[in-house]
Structure 1
Amino acid sequence: MPGPSRTDDLVEIQQLLARYAVTITQGDIDGLLAVFTPDGTYSAFGDRYPLSEFPAMVDAAPKGLFLTGTPAIELDGDDATGTQPLCFVDHATHDMRIGYYRDTYRRTENGWRLATRAMTFIRRSGAHDSGRPHAYQPRA
């Protein structure tokens, strides 16, 4: 029996990223962690964080709606890379933050998972950056 097609892989990755946006919007940390590989990382604020710190980062972050666009994905066997646009709307003020994620994906025994996710913010000035260094402080 042949393996999954390119289209199957693309749809699975798109659904994975939809689960990321929905679970983080709903505050479902377990669901959010499940979209990553066990050694997955998240990069923002000038640093890279292991998955073990992600729950504290999410807890410290503003709450609101994560609106994500269709990702541009490049498949390479059991690995892939992609870029996905993001618009975050704060629930209390309706202020927005815009930017994009740069990702790497890996096919696992449980399907496609995010291996790395790096946030880039787009500023009013037009600058693209990873955020203010140390906006999040890991717990000591």
Structure 2
Amino acid sequence: MSTNSAPTSSRTDDIVEIGQLLAKYAVTMSTGDVQGVVSVFTPDGTYSAFGDVYPLDQFPALVTVAPKGLFVTGTPLIEFGEPDESGIVNDANGTQTLQFIDHTQTDIRIGYYTDTYRRTGDGWRLATRAMTFIRRNGEHNSGRPHVVDLSAAP
């Protein structure tokens, strides 16, 4: 895919590339591929859920202790930023729906991700991803703050 210096990227190409990036996130989370999950983020990327923000260096431990199951995501709604002086758009925001099915009890969680994307030399990457849960009572929230003991993860 094109890099920051190549003004040949079309909006459709960018949408497809971001869609594939988010598909990789869902598939690698579903298959337990920690390095695959890490690879979809920028080096300074963060993930937010349950009242906490986790930097990239905590992802391996976070993914290891996260519930396992199937991540079923919808087509993202993407809004692109303004082009830079060379005419290239290097940032975007998006929202993607999620249905997570826990493999041990088939419990279902639903909600959506609110994302920021950044074009890098390696293509589009997630800069931030924040989870919002949709509760049975209709509330939308990031969940109860909790303690995740990342030191216990391998």
Larger fraction in strand:
1
Q: TM-score, normalised by structure 2?
A: 0.87
Quote the Cα distance in structure 1 between the aligned partners of 2:33 and 2:7. 35
Unmatched 5+ residue regions in structure 1?
A: none
- Residue 132 (structure 1) aligned with residue 144 (structure 2): yes
The aligned residue for residue 113 of structure 1 is 125
Distance 1:137-1:131 versus aligned 2 partners, 3 A rule = farther
> Counterpart of 2:75 in 1: which secondary structure?
coil
Whether the 8 Å CA contact 2:34–2:64 is kept in 1: the answer is: no
Whether the 8 Å CA contact 2:78–2:93 is kept in 1: the answer is: yes
> Counterpart of 1:94 in 2: which secondary structure?
coil
Distance 1:54-1:2 versus aligned 2 partners, 3 A rule = closer
Q: Segments of 4+ in structure 1 off by > 6 A?
A: none
The aligned residue for residue 94 of structure 2 is 82
Alignment match of 1:9 (pick from 14, 28, 31): 14
- Determine what percentage of the aligned residue pairs are the same residue: 68
Q: How many residues align?
A: 140
Q: TM-score, normalised by structure 1?
A: 0.95
The aligned residue for residue 38 of structure 1 is 43
* Structure 2 letter corresponding to 1:117: R
Higher-Rg structure is 2
> Counterpart of 1:19 in 2: which secondary structure?
helix
